[in-house]
Chains A and B, each alone.
Chain A
Amino acid sequence: MTTLDKTTDEILQLAAEHFKVPRERLSPSDDFFKKLGINSLQALDLLTRLEQHFRIELPDYELQGVSDFRTLAERIQSRL
């Protein structure tokens, strides 16, 4: 099983690549809406990519109240 740190790192890498933001500018405690400059539609897009990458299903209601990468990683980790 992957560790939470590894999961977090993979999320940051995927988000950086897809939204064309330098990886070094992202950190686990960042608000991904603000840091990536995305709206809820783009967040759904990110969710789909994360589901494909980690081969999981993550209900979008699990993202309620989640805005930082670390907490997102915890949600994903609980499905691995």
Chain B
Amino acid sequence: MSPRNQQKPTTKSSAVPTAALRPKRQLHQIAANVLRLAKDRGIQETEVHIEESIEALTRFANNTIHQHVAEQGLVVSLRTSVDGRTARVTTNRIEEDALRAALEDSLSLASHQPKDPQLLPMPGKQKYRAVRRFHVATAALTAEERARAVKNACQLAERRGQVAAGIFSSGQGQSVLVNSRGLATAYRQTHSAFSVTMQQDSATSWAKASAADVRRFDPLRLAKIASEKAARARNPVELAPGKFTVILEPAAVLDLVGLLFYDFAATAVADKRSCLSGRIGKPVFGENVTISDDVYHPEQLGAPFDGEGIPRQRVVLVDRGVVKSLVYSRRSAKQVGIKPTGHGFALPNEYGEAPLNLVVAGGNTSLEEMVASTDRGLLVTRLWYIREVDPYEKIMTGMTRDGLFLVEKGKIAHAVRNFRFNQSVLEMLRNVQCLGPAGHAAGEEASEMVAPPMKICNFNFSEVTKF
């Protein structure tokens, strides 16, 4: 491969225009090219999924920007299906020769496998409910604007004798999904996030927000929250591990409850690897716990269709503690004779489906009220390195991080050294005493979701660390 022409490099203006997504028609044109090539080749069924993204991230630590990146890319992922055999090939080369080669590779992969009698024909045309998640203000955000916001956070830290670290990211993306049976859909969104850790002496705290519209959060306000909590987090006292009443901020709830998501997949239940195997229809959680999957919720992000282009449905997974429903791909739905819920992964795959837009219903107890009503407990800012210890009891282990505080007699008393927990999420959600208002929660472990703060009794901390 060699450059297409031999122009001399330009030395003109240093201004770089903000990157922009291609017009949607260009993506449709690429998809149409693939379908045409596939038809010419006599391929029975073809699916084309094109994704384009523009991402940028400003990263800071020690009160300075140390990494600052931007990327732009387009990926064509195509699937052919012939005589009950299917395979996927993905490329970021869009020249006709490359697309033709990808089709041939897909055919070759598909033809060298046993026939799958349960493989369904590709779906036809669908009806979609529109969502609007593209905000020009986010798409137009420049490196310099992110750098200035970061500078403000770093200056705040310096004024307070603290050290700031974090990220300010923004991006935009679009996708087009079509198949040879007439299905066609498209989606685009923007996203942005500001995450900040403030350190004072050896104490740290953290705050994060994310949204499709960058104007929904104020980076400096988040920096102030983290800064004030870091100041309070100094001189932590070591407590003996044991069972505590905990007040989990939304990020901590997200990181625990969010890791339940695959358990709600019909395929996981059929494979007997879900903690809900044998528990459907039963009161697994407390009566104050209701969980749904709802891509249309105004606080959610994500496309309103699944990996095969089936429209996503709102599904009530847990209703007042009782496991009511699972999510289904076309394949898993057919196996039990119901309609798919629009949660399937792109085919072929072994995992089936999953809810990716969890919404945990909130209550009306504010975080402050939770603290005020607690005689002795722990306020948890954030959790870290959460892993599954036991898949059926859903015991998760992990650490508290960036601000753990003892609450005594309705007030925050002092900081506490971080604990390790080993806690069943099922049991935890039976021990919820009260919930706060639900909102878009951003953590670092599980996917973003809508979650409230929670006050929970008998949360099991097994060991303590050195800070």
**Is the A/B pair a real complex?**
no
Q: Give residues in A with beta carbon < 8 Å to B.
A: none
